Amino acid sequence: MQAFTRLNGLVVPLDRANVDTDAIIPKQFLKSIKRTGYGPFLFDEWRYEDVGQPEMDCSHRPIRKEFVLNQPRFQGAEILLTRENFGCGSSREHAPWAILDYGISCVIAPSFADIFYNNCFKNGVLPVVLKDDQMDALFVDVAANSGYTLTVDLEAQAITSPTGRTFNFDVDAFRKHCLLKGLDDISLTLQQSEIIQAYETERKVSAPWLFGAS
Amino acid sequence: MAKTLFEKVWDQHVLTASDDGSALLYIDRQLIHEVTSPQAFEGLREAGRKPWRVDASIATADHNVPTTGLEHGITDPVARTQVEALDTNCKEFGIIEFPMGDIRQGIVHVVGPEQGLVLPGMTVVCGDSHTSTHGALGAIAMGIGTSEVEHVLATQTLIQKKPKMMRVTVDGELPKGITGKDIALYIIGEIGTAGGTGYAIEFAGKTIESLSMEGRMSLCNMTIEAGARCGMIAVDDVTIDYVKGRPFSPKGDIWERAEAAWRDLYSDADAVFDQEICLHAVDIMPQVTWGTSPEMVAPIFGGTPCLNDAKDDVQRQDWQRAFAYMDLEENTAIMGITIDKVFIGSCTNARIEDLRAAAAIARGHQVAEKVILAMVVPGSGLVKKQAEEEGLDVIFKEAGFEWREPGCSMCLAMNADRLEAGERCASTSNRNFEGRQGAGGRTHLVSPAMAAAAAIKGHFVDVRNWR
């Protein structure tokens, strides 16, 4: 996994609550068996006027000019600012894959859906929770300032605005550790193989109905 | 110490716990389908890893499978590749699969309980958010992402933070014509789509106890639509009777021991929840969603809300966008909304009881002329067989419904079953998001009986007055 340490990036505001993973990456793109290539289809139905299909060349598709990701001032954005309950609905990890593949590696919102939040950490995408009033302030700033960037420092758990205003955020110690180092948590878990085996040995005796479906 | 149902199952599965509240949790069962697993198997292959315990996993293809013309196979080459990848991966890694053509194939959340592969007290995961369904059996069941699918395959464990616990109690007799689906939609309307975020929800109370196992599964299935990954119901006679005698359920002496252990799966009288919500069955009417989020829901005799009633600007803009997308206005009566298509199916409502309820409404009637498609998609090959033995297929076909092969179908429209832009659908599925059933399609979530009645009348009606 790609590590996330510190990012200074252009911010794009998506001023909607309850953005679901069907909107982030529609179902037809879930037929792919790869982890990459979803970026051109991020927010497909909001971004384009036609209906996208897997592996389509998006460079000539008719775009919805009013959608934020299509506005010239937000091209190259690396930080997404959005509203409550971002990533709700389907568990599809294709959602953070699409976000990352597009070039966004930090999403800032007042709250996230649980599964999406988890999925981000597995893919080098940092989801940051800020308070509603802090979010409102950022939405105002980004609307007022073309080329608005933020600096996100995971080690310090802090977001800094161009004017030097700082917002601190919480993140679980283990998730932070893995994201900073880009660690594969399967290898970490396999270091505990003996504990897993001992548990299974005991459970085979105390709850044998849990074993042997094949 | 008094424990909740969730804590009893959780504590039995914790291998190690960290100071930050995260635990290494043992997973008893993983359900696998074709959409969220290929990258996980590829990850195993790239790292040279093997599944930790092959007998803990079970696979079936559901999202992409066609529901007509099975003799032609899957005609969409991209979808076919994905289903074939599942077949290949299961063979290569030694995982049991119910492939297309096997009568046991179907929607993974219908197949698991039907086969006795999901049992009370288990920890169950699947790369699908509707895994919450299985909590109806007193299991901890939750949806996970593909990286976690790979983690469970490789280690049989998951790193999880213990969620907070919420109990939603619904008291009173289950009113006539009200189903698990209506209860689910009503609860979501009350607490919102993020109301359960960070929680595991236990559903309790007399109303919940009086639900059949199918009704309980519909309710737990939609827990994720309230934001909670996991919904649960205590084990009782309904649970035990459902599990007994299924193909993979324990037998003989082991059954006796299992049942004794499962009988302890309820929240102790003085167990403490982080949040308690009490609702009354008498307040629950047949529910119909009007917007693009399951919380945008109203009783059948109600209407769309008034914009002035929005709690804040964010919600007002949400409602305005939903009205525009759904081509509805504020203060529109639900019963006046006419529909173009009807979908009866999905992991929420494609079990035998759901099909019986829909057939009871459809019997002796005709689908309204203006309804261009009304389809019934059974949840599994075995549900289909059972329904045909009961003659339900004949009732549906005589009434003008299409009787299809099992799969996820138009719940998420990954196969050919979908809404065209602007079409309006009465659907027994679980999500009314923009584009969910097809780009530009408009979804109204309802119970199976409500969907069947809407098909006959061409608009929403109150099934409690059906004759």
pLDDT digits (tens, 9 = 90+) for B419-438: 999 999 999 999 999 999 99
* pLDDT at position A214 over 80: no
CA B234/CA A22 separation, integer angstroms: 32
Number of domains present in the structure of chain A:
2
Nearest-neighbour CA in chain A from B365: distance (Å): 35
Closest CA relative to residue A26, chosen from A103, A89, A85: A89
Average pLDDT value for chain B: 97
Q: Which structural domain range is residue A208 located in?
A: 184-214
Distance from the Cα of B360 to chain A's closest Cα (Å) equals: 32
Smallest CA–CA distance, residue A57 to chain B, in Å, is: 16
CATH number, domain of A157, equals: 3.20.19.10
Q: Judged by CB atoms within 8 Å, which residues 99-128 of A form the interface with B? A: 111-115, 118-119, 122-123
Query: How does DSSP assign A97-143, residue by residue?
Result: HHHHHHT--EEEES-B-HHHHHHHHTTT-EEEE--HHHHHHHHHHHH
Asked if the C-beta of B412 comes within 8 angstroms of chain A's C-beta atoms, the answer is yes
* Element at B85 (helix H, strand E): helix B77-93
| Residue A52 forms part of a structural domain | yes
ipTM score of complex: 0.95
A1 lies in some domain: no
What confidence category does residue A213 fall into, taking pLDDT thresholds of 50, 70 and 90? Answer: low
Of B293, B422, B125, the residue nearest A21 (C-alpha)? B293
Q: Do A186 and B197 touch (CB under 8 A)?
A: no
Q: Looking at the domain assignment, is residue A17 inside a domain?
A: yes
Beta carbons within 10 angstroms of residue B308's beta carbon: 7
Q: State how far residue B301 is from chain A, nearest Cα, in angstroms.
A: 27
- Cα nearest neighbour of A23 on chain B: B434
Q: Provide the pLDDT for residue B442.
A: 98
User: Strand B140-143 relative to strand B57-60: parallel, antiparallel, unpaired?
Assistant: unpaired
Report the predicted TM-score, pTM, of the whole model to 2 decimal places: 0.97
Which of B14, B146, B201, B321 is best to mutate for the A interface (most A CBs within 10 A)?
B146
Q: In this structure, are A161 and A213 located in the same domain?
A: no
> In this predicted structure, what is the pLDDT of residue A142?
98
Contact B439 A45 (CB under 8 A): yes
Measured between CB atoms, does B320 come within 8 Å of chain A? Answer: no
Chain A residues lying within 8 Å of B156, measured CB to CB: 196, 200
Whether residues A101 and A188 share a domain: the answer is no
Contact A27 B414 (CB under 8 A): yes
Strands B29-32 and B57-60: parallel
Condensed to tens digits (0 to 9), the pLDDT of residues B287-302 reads: 999 999 999 999 999 9
* A162 and A115 together in one domain: yes
In a domain, A21, yes or no: yes
B159-181 pLDDT per residue, tens: 999 999 999 999 999 999 999 99
- Residue A86, domain member (yes or no): yes
Q: Looking at the predicted structure, is the pLDDT value of residue A184 above 90? A: no
- Same structural domain for residues A178 and A188? no
Q: What pLDDT is recorded for position B160?
A: 94
- Of B153, B285, B52, B60, nearest to A200 by C-alpha is B52
Q: How far is CA B328 from the centre of its chain?
A: 27
Residue A143 counted as domain residue:
yes
E strands, chain A, are 6-14, 79-82, 106-109, 126-129, 149-153, 158-160, 166-168
Same domain for A27 and A129, yes or no, is yes
Of B96, B317, B439, which is closest to A213 when you measure between CB atoms? B96
Structure tokens at B148: 């976690």
A102 within a domain of the structure (yes/no): yes
Q: Alpha-carbon distance B302 to B284, whole Å?
A: 12
Q: Which residue has the tokens 């037809």?
A: A28
Mean pLDDT of B155-162: 96
A155, A94: one domain: yes
Contact B318 A118 (CB under 8 A): no
- Give CA angle at A34 (A33, A35), nearest 5°: 135
Q: Does A63 share its domain with A81?
A: yes
Residues A117 and A60 in one domain: yes
Is residue B444 within 8 A of residue B340, CB to CB? The reply is no
Q: What is the pLDDT of residues B337-396, one digit of tens each?
A: 999 999 999 999 999 999 999 999 999 999 999 999 999 999 999 999 999 999 999 999
pLDDT digits (tens, 9 = 90+) for B451-463: 999 999 999 999 9
Q: Are residues A148 and A198 in the same domain?
A: no
Q: Is the domain of A148 the same as that of A202?
A: no
Do residues A20 and A97 both lie within one domain?
A: yes
Shared domain check, A131 and A191: no
Q: Which residues numbered 157-186 in A keep a CB inside 8 Å of some CB on B? A: 172-174, 184-186
Domain annotation covers residue A77: yes
Q: In this model, does residue A166 exceed pLDDT 80?
A: yes
The pLDDT value given to residue A81: 98
CA A62 – CA A48 distance, rounded (Å) = 6
